[in-house]
């Protein structure tokens, strides 16, 4: 029998069930991508976002208090947020938990308030909210919740059923709000993901049988107590190699300054950059820390910024593991055999260098493109792009690798900009500035136009202006039949996709690429840069270059190996 109120235990189960339901539907949601390209990742991004929070919720056990639960959902989703849909989902969860934190029992009025706060928070996070998206679906659900609450409804089961039903209806109407959805014959993928979360949560409320197990990231490998038959000391060496981080480090920080959620997320992100198996639990005056790392000193040094340390304990897990293996093999006290590795020592740390004034981070994929960014002075590359959007935590981890007071971040993908902005908001000890580059060529243009002698503010303005002068086209293939921008597309066709839509379609890659470039070039164009991908032979790329030189004699044509996957060519016109 269901209740008309929801407590922390039930809310925890509902959240985990929602996360699991989204995870089970992620591939289907990926396929709802408007453009029929082989990189639909909305389902993946939303799943990785919510699973980051689900792991923290699961770690609380079956009977969490509401404050700890809200904190786990909010901080976990913020750090794990990937892609626009993931960041918006994290903001919805952030607003929802902010509204209910401290309330031990949630009735219909409290849920209506929380839904409204969720929508308000998410809309504020998006610079130019677009209707027909996950935002619209969330808003529709919140409006229905408010309507039912004001009608005096008391039956929680009926309330949740009607809210979700209305959210589904709003989702079905998204093609009427976004013509591109209607033309492609799909509903908004982010909105679909949100409905799956809500549906899974409702199943838990109804008491349906659900597996609430959440796999924890960075779990230790459990070894058998007996050696597999036929294995010798080489197996011992392999087992030791599985211990990536050798020192189990534990301590308590007795706080001497404010330690809010931003500090906690910053500290956790830093710990994740130097180790794994992380537990970081903050109370009013203390923070309990556990991390496996190869350099305990780095964790300790970072922790000292927040207060004094106590209960410090460091164990060499490689040494302990080696001793256990020799006990298991009956060789207790024996010397390390030639086939086994001696316990690794923590790497010697170079003397700390003063931070330089300005550094650069770039999101990039493809060994050729990565080398181009490095040659232009980018300090650190975040591997990722259209096929795998880095999370807010990934970006914060990368920030720690750049020893600079101000760091310019180049997302180089429109689906990463929100996560980069979120990272900038959460950073407390460095100045992060996001240059909203939507493509790799825009990122290259931005860093080329950086002038060390200019101020940070002037450089930011210059880069923002220059990326606006870059047109980008990308050539890939279609994964399904559809109709986009009044172009009939068949599965397997090549497509030339510009900044605002599909520019060319056909079965001949060279012809499709040339038609795409023709649509991009105008009388003011001076430079055409071609980056060919991992699936293009150099002679084919050289042929394209020759064709472009003949067609556009007034333009300089640059050809470089990019090595990017999925996109045969990435081409910019300036």
Backbone dihedral angles phi then psi of residue 129, each to the nearest 5 degrees: -60, 140
pLDDT digits (tens, 9 = 90+) for 147-163: 999 999 999 999 999 99
**Residue 295 confidence (pLDDT) above 50:** yes
User: d(Cα 408, Cα 339) in Å, to the nearest integer?
Assistant: 47
User: d(Cα 257, Cα 330) in Å, to the nearest integer?
Assistant: 52
Q: If we measure between CA atoms, which residue out of 238, 290, 223 comes closest to residue 59? A: 290
Last residue in a domain, options 437, 467, 497: 467
Does 455 share its domain with 477? no
Give me 525's structure tokens.
Answer: 């164009």
Residue 505 belongs to what domain range? 472-573
User: d(Cα 345, Cα 272) in Å, to the nearest integer?
Assistant: 20
Does 362 share its domain with 396? yes
- β-bridge mates for residue 475, sequence order: 496, 569
Alpha helices per DSSP H over 179-260: 179-184, 189-205, 233-241
Note whether residue 335 is domain-resident. Answer: no
Does 504 share its domain with 399? no
CATH number of the domain that residue 505 is part of:
3.30.1180
Which range has the worst mean pLDDT, 80-84, 280-284, 359-363, 471-475?
Answer: 280-284
pLDDT band at 318 (very low <50, low <70, confident <90, very high): low
Does 460 share its domain with 480? no
pLDDT band at 322 (very low <50, low <70, confident <90, very high): low
Note whether residue 230 is domain-resident. Answer: no
Does 392 share its domain with 316? no
Note whether residue 367 is domain-resident. Answer: yes
Q: Is the separation of the CB atoms in 311 and 250 below 8 Å?
A: yes
Note whether residue 189 is domain-resident. Answer: yes
pLDDT at 40: 61
pLDDT band at 112 (very low <50, low <70, confident <90, very high): very high
Backbone dihedral angles phi then psi of residue 431, each to the nearest 5 degrees: -95, 105
Q: If we measure between CA atoms, which residue out of 218, 173, 214 comes closest to residue 192? A: 173
User: d(Cα 526, Cα 552) in Å, to the nearest integer?
Assistant: 9
- Mean per-residue pLDDT for 176-182? 86
Number of compact structural domains in the chain? 4
pLDDT at 347: 46
CB atoms within 10 A of CB 122: 24
**Residue 503 confidence (pLDDT) above 80:** yes
Give me 49's structure tokens.
Answer: 């976002």
User: d(Cα 436, Cα 450) in Å, to the nearest integer?
Assistant: 15
User: d(Cα 380, Cα 377) in Å, to the nearest integer?
Assistant: 9
> Which residues, 6+ apart, have CB-to-CB distance to 453 below 8 Å?
none
Q: Is the separation of the CB atoms in 415 and 445 below 8 Å?
A: no
Last residue in a domain, options 435, 467, 499: 467
pLDDT at 453: 92
Most trustworthy range by pLDDT among 100-104, 344-348, 568-572: 568-572
Does 153 share its domain with 49? yes
Give me 285's structure tokens.
Answer: 């005056």
3-state SS assignment for residue 301: helix
Note whether residue 345 is domain-resident. Answer: no
User: d(Cα 68, Cα 214) in Å, to the nearest integer?
Assistant: 18
> Which residues, 6+ apart, have CB-to-CB distance to 470 below 8 Å?
439, 441, 442, 445, 572, 573, 574
User: d(Cα 413, Cα 418) in Å, to the nearest integer?
Assistant: 10
User: d(Cα 352, Cα 10) in Å, to the nearest integer?
Assistant: 49
Does 19 share its domain with 161? yes
pLDDT band at 227 (very low <50, low <70, confident <90, very high): very low
pLDDT at 568: 94
Note whether residue 350 is domain-resident. Answer: no
Q: Is the separation of the CB atoms in 341 and 234 below 8 Å?
A: no
pLDDT band at 363 (very low <50, low <70, confident <90, very high): very high
Does 182 share its domain with 310? no
> Which residues, 6+ apart, have CB-to-CB distance to 447 below 8 Å?
360, 362, 373, 376, 377, 378, 408, 410, 463
User: d(Cα 307, Cα 384) in Å, to the nearest integer?
Assistant: 36
Strand pairing category for 356-364 and 380-383: parallel
CATH number of the domain that residue 274 is part of:
3.30.70
Note whether residue 227 is domain-resident. Answer: no
CATH number of the domain that residue 361 is part of:
3.40.50.510
pLDDT at 128: 77
- The rounded Cα 566 to chain-centroid distance in angstroms is 20
Does 387 share its domain with 443? yes
Q: If we measure between CA atoms, which residue out of 546, 260, 307 comes closest to residue 425? A: 260
Note whether residue 2 is domain-resident. Answer: no
Does 63 share its domain with 181? yes
Give me 36's structure tokens.
Answer: 């029929």
Last residue in a domain, options 438, 467, 496: 467
For the chain, how are helix, strand and coil distributed in percent, rounded to 5?
45, 20, 35
Does 160 share its domain with 46? yes
CATH number of the domain that residue 58 is part of:
1.25.40.340
Does 100 share its domain with 18? yes
- Mean per-residue pLDDT for 124-129? 80
> What DSSP letter does each residue of 497-562 carry, written as one string?
E-SSSEEEEES-HHHHHHHHHHHH--TT--EEEEEE-TTS-HHHHHHHHHHHHHH-TTSEEEEEE-
Which range has the worst mean pLDDT, 71-85, 314-328, 556-570?
Answer: 314-328
**Residue 236 confidence (pLDDT) above 50:** no
pLDDT at 471: 95
Give me 384's structure tokens.
Answer: 């990722």
Across all residues in the chain, what is the average pLDDT?
A: 84
């Amino acid at each position: 029998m269901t209740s008309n109120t929801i407590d922390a235990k039930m809310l925890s189960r509902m959240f985990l069930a929602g996360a699991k339901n989204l995870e089970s539907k992620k591939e289907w949601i990926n396929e709802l991508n408007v453009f029929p390209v082989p990189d639909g990742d909305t389902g993946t991004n939303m799943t990785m976002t919510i699973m980051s929070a689900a792991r923290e919720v699961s770690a609380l056990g079956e009977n969490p208090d509401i404050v700890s639960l809200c904190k786990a959902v909010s901080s976990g989703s913020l750090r794990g947020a990937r892609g626009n849909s993931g960041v918006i989902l994290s903001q919805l969860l952030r607003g929802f938990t902010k509204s209910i934190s401290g309330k031990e029992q949630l009735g219909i009025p409290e849920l209506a308030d929380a839904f409204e706060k969720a929508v308000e928070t998410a809309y504020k996070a998006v610079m130019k909210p677009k209707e027909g998206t996950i935002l619209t679906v969330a808003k529709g659900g919140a409006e229905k919740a408010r309507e039912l609450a004001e009608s005096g409804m008391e039956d929680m089961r009926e309330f949740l059923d009607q809210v979700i039903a209305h959210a589904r209806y709003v989702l079905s109407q998204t093609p009427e709000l976004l013509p591109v959805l209607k033309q492609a014959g799909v509903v908004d993928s982010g909105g679909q993901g949100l409905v799956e979360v809500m549906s899974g949560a409702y199943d838990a409320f109804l008491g349906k049988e659900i597996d609430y197990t959440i796999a924890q990231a960075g779990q230790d490998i459990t070894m058998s107590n007996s050696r597999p038959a036929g294995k010798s000391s080489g197996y011992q060496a392999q087992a030791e190699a599985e211990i990536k981080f050798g020192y189990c480090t534990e301590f308590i920080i007795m706080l001497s300054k404010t330690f809010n959620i931003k500090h906690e997320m910053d500290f956790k992100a830093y710990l994740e950059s130097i180790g794994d198996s992380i537990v970081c639990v903050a109370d009013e005056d203390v923070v309990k820390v556990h991390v496996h790392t190869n350099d305990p000193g780095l964790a300790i040094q970072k922790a000292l910024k927040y207060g004094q340390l106590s209960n410090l304990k460091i164990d060499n897990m490689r040494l302990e593991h080696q001793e256990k293996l020799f006990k298991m093999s009956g060789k207790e006290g024996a010397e390390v055999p030639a086939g086994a590795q001696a316990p690794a020592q923590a790497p010697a740390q170079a003397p700390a260098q003063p931070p330089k004034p300005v550094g650069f981070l770039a999101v990039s994929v493809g060994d050729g493109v990565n080398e181009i960014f490095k040659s232009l002075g980018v300090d650190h590359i975040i591997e990722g792009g259209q096929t795998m959007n880095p999370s807010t935590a990934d970006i914060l981890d990368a920030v720690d690798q750049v020893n600079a007071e101000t760091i310019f971040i180049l997302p180089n993908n429109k689906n990463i900009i929100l996560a980069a902005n979120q990272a900038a908001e959460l950073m407390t000890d460095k100045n992060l500035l996001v240059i909203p580059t939507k493509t790799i060529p825009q990122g290259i243009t931005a860093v080329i136009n950086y002038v060390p002698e200019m101020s940070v503010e002037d450089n930011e303005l210059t880069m923002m202006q220059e990326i606006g002068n870059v047109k980008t086209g990308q050539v890939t293939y279609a994964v399904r039949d559809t109709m986009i921008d009044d172009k009939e597309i068949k599965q397997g066709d090549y497509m030339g996709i510009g900044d605002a839509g599909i520019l060319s379609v056909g079965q001949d890659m060279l012809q499709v690429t040339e038609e795409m470039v023709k649509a991009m070039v105008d009388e003011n164009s001076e430079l055409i840069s071609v980056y060919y991908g991992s699936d293009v032979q150099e002679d084919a790329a050289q042929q394209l270059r020759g064709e472009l030189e003949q067609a556009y004699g007034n333009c300089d044509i640059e050809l470089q190996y990019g090595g990017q996957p999925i996109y045969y060519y990435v081409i910019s016109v300036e």
